[in-house]
Amino acid sequence: EAGVTQSPRYAVLQEGQAVSFWCDPISGHDTLYWYQQPRDQGPQLLVYFRDEAVIDNSQLPSDRFSAVRPKGTNSTLKIQSAKQGDTATYLCASSFPGEDTQYFGPGTRLLVL
């Protein structure tokens, strides 16, 4: 069974540029999470979905960050006008209905210059 896949694996951009991250969860998993993991830190939840609905996006910096999961499968996280402080690894995870064990993708490492 394929795991959680993410793309791209790396991204380098200048401040002010936009970037999108894509996540394909494990088939059958209804819950999808996006985390931000700064260097030498633990993952910090940004947003999570159950099917196509946003359940909690309270930690998402709404003015520049957005996330969608229109068909309840793949998801895209977008950063408008990136800042140096956004430099981090962005992790996607998914879980099976009714379970809280999360399965993580390899992450996208973002460097904002």
Partner 1 sequence: AQSVTQPDARVTVSEGASLQLRCKYSYFGTPYLFWYVQYPRQGLQLLLKYYPGDPVVQGVNGFEAEFSKSNSSFHLRKASVHWSDWAVYFCAENTGYQNFYFGKGTSLTVIP
Q: How many CB atoms within 10 Å of residue 29? A: 17
The least CB distance from residue 60 to partner 1, in Å, is 13
Residue 8 within binding range of partner 1, rule CB under 8 A: no
Q: Which of 24, 34, 102, 112 is in the footprint of partner 1 by CB under 8 A?
A: 102
The radius of gyration of the chain's CA atoms, rounded to the nearest angstrom, is: 13
Q: Are 26 and 101 in contact (CB under 8 A)?
A: no
Q: Is residue 105 involved in binding partner 1 (CB under 8 A)?
A: yes
Number of residues that bind partner 1 (CB under 8 A): 23
Residue 25 touching partner 1 (CB under 8 A): no
- Indicate the SS3 state at residue 100: coil
Least separation in angstroms between residue 81's CB and partner 1 is: 27
DSSP 48-86: EEETTEEEE-TTS-TTTEEEE-TTSS-EEEEESS--GGG
Using the rule CB under 8 A, which residue among 23, 24, 43, 60 binds partner 1? 43
Indicate whether 26 belongs to the interface with partner 1 (CB under 8 A).
no
Which residues inside 65-94 make contact with partner 1, applying CB under 8 A? Answer: 91, 93
